[in-house]
Amino acid sequence: MNVNLNIGRVLGAQLKVHWTFFLLIIWIVVHELQRGGYASSVLFNIALVLAIFIGVILHELGHAFMAKRFGVRTTKITLLPIGGIAHWNPREIPPKHEILIVLAGPFVNLVLALLLYFTIPIHSLYRQSFTDAYEVFASFSFQNFLFFIFLINAGLVLVNMLPAFPLDGGRLLRALLDLRLKPAKATQIATSLGQVIAIAFLLLGLLYHPVLIFIALFIFFSAYTENLNVQHTTLLKGHTVEEAMLLNITTFKPKDSIDLVVNTIISGTEINFIVVESGHIKGLLNHGKIIEHSAKNVLVEAVMDPEFKTVNALDDLSVVYPLIYAHKQTLFPVVHQGRLIGAIDTINLNEYIALQTKLTYKL
Ligand SMILES: [Zn+2]
């Protein structure tokens, strides 16, 4: 289920708002009403959430602008209340460029915070907000609003510079380690530190605030996934699709009956198939769709999906790895000089990774 809201494209990148932003707005409205807030205080708080939102967008645009300067395309930006996650193409960026791309985001918030610091009386507002919190929160003036925008931007700089991968600080640490170490080692150190900080956040969250628990889980699992991705990519580099592909695959013709396919599923272990006619790949048969049409008297051509991606036998496995894992297609035909010679899916790629891990680390 895709619950992230797509809000358009900026600098070629798809902008998505993470569902937690909406959760934050609902939470703030409920919280405000519970403590006896008025319409004006609810609106003031919603305006603050929108200010966080804009702060995060500007932060991400800082990254995207710098990435563009180095010829790196930002494909997708997901906006979260604590920052954004940008996806870059290519995934591997020289460490010196990555350092500048990473710093460009917090730099935008730092500039905004400094501009506000010198234009509004931060000191007196700050003292006031602690000595007479009620007064400050009760008067929803423009100056108070600017004071909170200052706090938001300063907060975005501080939170994002924590060395907790995937936050910017963690990415910076990885890029710095990358200058001296191998990428896989650098990622391992940075993500491990990220997970340690995440556990600290989790404990603080249990003691003080549930929002910290959410941040902790986000950091922990992102660090885990990124580390796994980099370790796998490193392991697969230099190996071709041909080495890992399935050779014994059953293919069908467009005019075959779906009964024939169902019988093959029952009598064997294959569940997805390639449809071929006179040496050309015509489509893919997906397990779910086969089952859906199994009781009907139809031909393979009516059930197959004519839109599909293929991979080349000599492609590097580290390059096709993200495609095979992220794409909704489950089975990829492997071609060599235009001919079908095998297939690859996540199951046999996982098996290949497991075998390579054994061979490499002699576990
Ligand atoms: Zn950032």
pLDDT tens sequence for the chain (363 residues):
456 777 778 778 888 888 878 888 888 888 878 877 777 778 888 888 888 888 888 999 999 999 999 988 888 888 877 777 787 766 678 889 999 999 999 999 999 999 988 888 776 666 666 555 555 455 667 777 888 889 889 999 998 999 988 889 998 998 999 899 888 888 889 989 999 999 998 999 888 877 788 788 888 888 888 888 888 888 888 899 999 999 999 999 999 999 999 999 999 989 999 999 988 999 999 999 999 988 888 998 999 999 999 999 999 998 888 888 877 888 999 999 889 999 999 888 899 988 888 887 665
**In sequence order, which residues have a C-beta less than 8 Å from that of residue 318 and are 6 or more positions away?**
233, 234, 236, 237, 238, 239
Please enumerate, by residue number, every residue annotated as part of a binding site for Zn(2+).
59, 63, 168
**In sequence order, which residues have a C-beta less than 8 Å from that of residue 257 and are 6 or more positions away?**
297, 298, 299, 300
Cα angle 91, 79, 149; round to 5 = 125
- Report the C-alpha gap between 310 and 288 in whole angstroms: 20
Q: How far is the CA of 43 from the centre of ligand 1 (A)?
A: 28
**In sequence order, which residues have a C-beta less than 8 Å from that of residue 170 and are 6 or more positions away?**
162, 163, 164, 190, 191, 193, 194, 223
Q: Which domains does the chain have, with CATH numbers?
A: 5-236 (no CATH), 241-361 (3.10.580.10)
Q: How far is the CA of 199 from the centre of ligand 1 (A)?
A: 21
- Order of strands, sheet of 339-345, starting from the edge strand that comes earlier in the sequence: 311-312, 331-336, 339-345
Please list all protein residues whose beta carbon sits less than 5 angstroms from ligand 1, which is an ion. Answer: 105, 168
Q: How far is the CA of 167 from the centre of ligand 1 (A)?
A: 7
